[in-house]
Structure formats: C-alpha cells, structure tokens
Chains A and B, each alone.
Chain A
Amino acid sequence: MSAATSVNRQGLFARLIRNPLGIVTLSYLLIVVLVAILAPVIAPMDPLLTDPASIMTPPDGIHLLGTDSAGRDVLSRLIFGAQATLIAAVIVVVVAIVVGVPSGLLAGYYAGKFDAIASWLSNMIMALPAMIVLLAVRTALGPSIYLIMTVFGVIIAPGFFRLTRSAVMGVRNELYVDAARVSGLSDMRIISKHIFTVVRAPIIIQSAMISGIAISIQSGLEFLGLGDTTLISWGTMINDGFRNIFVAPILVLWPSLIISLTIGAFALLGNAIRDGFLFRTLVLDTLRAMAV
C-alpha cells in the first residue's frame, strides 16, 4: 500500500511539472509567497511611510507605481499586501479543512445518524448566501478580517465535507478496505492510512480553488470598507483607489490586477492538478457560485 502512495505522491508533482500551465501558475504563486515572506527585505520603502507632500503622484523614478492618498509607496504596499491576502486565504483553507475533512471522513465511514445530521448541517450551510452571513458576523464581532475569514472557513467547509464523504463512501466497501478490516486494523488506522490517501488529491485541488474564493471575498469586504482599514492588503488598496477614482484612476488598477492574477493562478493550478489526475468532482464546481 505504501508503494502505491508514494507513486501517487510523485505523480502529483511530476505531472504538474510536465504541464506548462502547471509550471507557470505554480511559479507565479511561489513568487507571491516568497514576496510575502521577504516583503521587509525586498520592498523599496516602508509601506507605512506617509508623505503629505506627494499625495497620489503618478509613477516616477522613486515611486515606481506612484503613491496613494496618504503619500505611501504603492509598490511597497502591494508587496506587503501579499501577506494579509495570503494569510486570509490560509485561514479559510485551514479552517475549512479542519472542519470539513474529519467530519466528512467520519460521516462517510460510519454513515448512520452522524452522517444524517452532518449532511443536513452541510446542506444548510451551503444554502446560505455567504456575503449576507458575513455582514451579520461583521455587525456582531467587528471588523477584524481574520475573524471574518475564520467564519468564512466554516461556511465553505461543506465543500470539503461533501467531497471527503462521497470519496470515502465510494471506497468504503472496496476490497482493500475490507481486507484491512479483516486483517484487524482499527477503524482509525484504516481511515488515516487508506481512505485519506484517496481524498488527498481532490483536497489539494479544492484548497487551491477555495484560496481564490477567499481572496475574492476578503477583497470584496475590504472594498466595501467593512474590513480592518489599517491593515495593508490588496482589498484596502482597492478601497483607497475607488475613493479617489476620479483623481487617480490608476490606483484601483494595480490591486485589481494583482488580485485577479492571483485568483486566476489558484484556479489554473486547481485545473492543472485535475487535468493531471483526470479527477472529476461536482462539488468543486458548485463552490464557484459562492464567490461572485
């Protein structure tokens, strides 16, 4: 069994590398991650350094992408903004996996009452318009974007739940799982060793898509001015740009462009992995609807 697993693992990466789209998107995302981590080193200026004498200046030799409405360097803020954006995406994915995958494993493996309740809950959550729920959460808990993203992780967790559950149900009665059971392995071991292997690839695909959705939702809330406005993030930059759309329309362009590119890269990465695996999942597609 472990031989199969390692082939599988190797396959994922090898196939991704062979796919030109995979290479391009993977390297783009890698660069974004590196930029976020190395932001203090590579940013040309302090992203908080204001300059009342140069408000919304066009790009020049000092400010390569110009300055914003407080005279801060746009390029440096884009670079630092990658941090908050990626952290938000990671929070959503981690929360969604932590909530969705174990419950999906249990529901799929044991079925019965737990499955009935969990499935009902999952359908219930999926029926909610995420944005409206997040507005209610924001009213109650305040503007911390990380808190809001944690709640969003729970809202989007049914994606993982359904995916895991159906995958587990599909293999539960396969021969090798039966064999494992007969050979005396505990349920826990069967779940962790055999079944988890099956759902790993779709989880990775799903995580990529959800990262894109998380970025879209986060920047949307910040665009509305409902996020934490002191945070350096691409969403707050769009908010600043839209406030000054008549004075400096270009301010809205940079963050829009980088947000679109990054979400697109996550989507393409998901597609590339799926093409490599010829893996088809319905749940994946339905998730898109939440991100409008």
Chain B
Amino acid sequence: MLGFIVRRLLSGVLLLFVITTLAYFLVFFTVDGVAYRLLGDSATQSDILAKNHELGLDRPFFARYWDWLTAAIHGDFGTSWFNNERIIDALANRLPVTVTVVGIAILISAILAVVLGMAAAIKGGWIDRLVQLLAIAGFAVPAFVIAVISVTIFAITLSLLPATGWVPITEDPVGWLLSLILPTFALVIATVASSAQQIRSAIKNVYERDWVRTLRSRGIAEKEILFKHVLRAAAPSGLTVLSLQFVGMLGGSVIIESIFALPGMGQYAVTATGAGDTPVVMGVVVFTVVVVIVVNLVVDLINGWLNPKVRVK
C-alpha cells in the first residue's frame, strides 16, 4: 500500500512539473505590453522601460523561469501585475469559494445520482428511461444556459434569490446559503443525470457477473446482495465517475462564477485571462492541477482500499 501511495505521489509531482513548465513557456511567451496596460494612456517610453525593469521583464527568459520555479516550490507564485496582491493569498481566498460551490454541487449531485442510478438499475422500466432521457438533456443544455435562464427567472423576474455575489458564511449564514442556491443548481442539473446513468451501468455491470448469480442461487436475500456485495463492487467505478465529474465541475465553475460574480478561482482566471495578468493565470493553473491530483489520489486510495486488485496494477 505504501509503495502504491509513493508511486502515485511521484507521478503526481512529475505531472505537476511537466504541466507547469509547459504552461510557463506558453503563457510567458509574450509579455510585451503589460507595462502599457498598467500605466495607461499617458505613459512615456522611459516610464515603460522603468516599469518593465520593476517587473523583471527585461531579464532573460530562462532566468525568469528558474526564479519562478524555485519560488513556486516554496509556495510563492509572486504577485499579480495588476493589483499587487500576493497570488498565493488570492488563491487561498478564492479556493474556498470554488471548493464550496463545487463541493456542495458534487455532494448533491452524488446523492441524487446514486439514488437515481440505483433505482434505474434495479427497478428498470420508466425510471430507467427517464434517467437516460435526463442524461441526454443534461448533456445537451450547457450549464451556462441553465444559469442564464435561472437568473432571469428567479433573480430578476421573481426576485426570489440574489442574482449575484457571495456572502461569507461568517457574515451572514442565511445570505451565504441563498447566494449558493442558483450556482450549485446550475452545476447539479448539468451533471446529475449523466452521473446517474453511469452509476446505473456500473451497478448493472456487477449484477451481470457470475458471482452475483452464485450468491442468488445460495438463497441470499436480494437486499443483502445489493448492499453488501454489489454496491461495494460497483463503488470504484462510481467513485471514478464522481472524481471526473469533480474535474469537470472545476472547469464548469469558470463560466458559472463569471455569471454569478462569485469571487472564486474560475472568475479569477477569466479576469486574469482578459487582462493578460500572466502570473495569476500560471498560479491558477498550478493550483487547479494540485487540487485535481490530490482528489485523484484520494479516489485512488479509496478504490485501492475497496478493491486490493487495483493496487497491484
């Protein structure tokens, strides 16, 4: 087990290194123009040169990359070019927002998906068909379309919920809950049915195995077969589905956070992309990859614990 964890960790670190290096080369390819945008309309040429020097942009590319890398290893991603905020602080402020929205969405989505998926796999019939239909519908209507429509109806027309913004839970727990409803709703609707469908096929897959038939022939109650054996066997595929869904939602939150003006990582990334705040874009890429690697590692560990065969592979 230990060897497995170490292998996965090493692979994660290597992955992180490759991705960040690629990203750095990609986004720092062009940095001219930053000073102009920072200093505005009336900047003179000497102002520009001074600013470039202040930002260290007049130094050779590889020297900059090396400094960035060594600092990043120590958890320092530098400061934003546009608002002087330390990027690691900004990320620390923004990560909780994204994790809360995505976390609650994935929790609701997981519970609903498991219930629906089980019902579809065991009961079959109309509920099975409904899940399939909803899965297609959820696939077809992008989350941002759901978000736009729900804002128009519930925030603007009916004034039932706040349309935008984020209220810290420490400030106003009720306001916090209300500000979460529409964004999580959009994410849940877009994902729940397809997760349910995949969980359905995972359970059905297990049911078709020979050993389930053997259990049945021994006269073991259906309930016991389902809860003690089938679900345990189907859990790894279910978890994998949810972990992929989580990665997907991290991407989806980019658009959702922009629509609802939530101060999370996604909105941070979009704003930085628009402004050309390259160190911030880098920071978001690194941070997101770390989150994804950690989640995948946890899922792998749980799967390894559930099914020892995985570890050997």
Cβ of B225 to closest chain A Cβ, rounded Å: 22
A127 touches B247 (CB 8 A): yes
Residues of B within 8 A of A141 (CB): 26
B281 CB–A CB distance under 8 Å: yes
Q: Which of A261, A282, A291 contacts B237 (CB 8 A)?
A: A282
Q: Mark B134-157, 1 if CB is under 8 A from A, else 0.
A: 001101111111001100100010
B187 CB–A CB distance under 8 Å: yes
B269 touches A132 (CB 8 A): yes
A242 touches B148 (CB 8 A): yes
A292 touches B249 (CB 8 A): yes
Cβ of B144 to closest chain A Cβ, rounded Å: 6
B139 touches A267 (CB 8 A): yes
A66 CB–B CB distance under 8 Å: no
Report which residue of A124, A139, A219, A291 has the largest number of chain B beta carbons within 10 angstroms of its beta carbon. Answer: A139
A127 touches B248 (CB 8 A): no
- Decide yes or no: A245 and B148 within 8 Å by CB, A129-B248, A129-B250, A292-B251 being known contacts: yes
Residues of B within 8 A of A289 (CB): 191, 241, 244-245, 247-248
The chain B residue with its CB closest to the CB of A271 is B136
Complex Cα distance A120/B19, Å? 13
Residues of A within 8 A of B197 (CB): 285
- Decide yes or no: A135 and B273 within 8 Å by CB, A120-B11, A292-B191 being known contacts: yes
Complex Cα distance A263/B245, Å? 19
B11 touches A286 (CB 8 A): no
Residues of B within 8 A of A260 (CB): 140-142, 145
The chain A residue with its CB closest to the CB of B296 is A127
B148 touches A252 (CB 8 A): yes
B139 touches A291 (CB 8 A): yes
A140 touches B241 (CB 8 A): no
B69 CB–A CB distance under 8 Å: no
Complex Cα distance A292/B272, Å? 22
Q: Mark B280-313, 1 if CB is under 8 A from A, else 0.
A: 0110110011001100100000000000000000
B18 CB–A CB distance under 8 Å: yes
- Decide yes or no: A292 and B187 within 8 Å by CB, A140-B30, A256-B145 being known contacts: yes
The chain A residue with its CB closest to the CB of B138 is A288
Cβ of B20 to closest chain A Cβ, rounded Å: 11
Report which residue of A212, A226, A267, A291 has the largest number of chain B beta carbons within 10 angstroms of its beta carbon. Answer: A291
Cβ of B233 to closest chain A Cβ, rounded Å: 15
Complex Cα distance A219/B140, Å? 12
Interface residues in B257-291 by Cβ distance below 8 A to A read: 258, 266, 269-270, 272-274, 276, 278, 281-282, 284-285, 288-289
- Decide yes or no: A212 and B139 within 8 Å by CB, A128-B292, A135-B269, A245-B152 being known contacts: yes
Complex Cα distance A141/B284, Å? 18
B190 CB–A CB distance under 8 Å: yes
- Decide yes or no: A129 and B143 within 8 Å by CB, A224-B270, A226-B274, A268-B136 being known contacts: no
B39 CB–A CB distance under 8 Å: no
A136 touches B27 (CB 8 A): yes
The chain B residue with its CB closest to the CB of A242 is B148
Residues of B within 8 A of A242 (CB): 148
Complex Cα distance A225/B249, Å? 20
The chain A residue with its CB closest to the CB of B140 is A264
A223 CB–B CB distance under 8 Å: yes
Residues of B within 8 A of A55 (CB): none
Cβ of B247 to closest chain A Cβ, rounded Å: 5
Residues of A within 8 A of B156 (CB): 246
B144 touches A220 (CB 8 A): yes
A140 touches B29 (CB 8 A): yes
A79 CB–B CB distance under 8 Å: no
Complex Cα distance A212/B142, Å? 10
Cross-chain pairs A/B with CB under 8 angstroms, 11 sampled = A132-B284, A135-B273, A225-B274, A259-B145, A263-B139, A271-B132, A286-B198, A289-B247, A290-B247, A290-B248, A291-B142
5 tightest CB-CB pairs across the interface, nearest first?
A: A264-B140, A292-B252, A131-B251, A289-B248, A289-B244
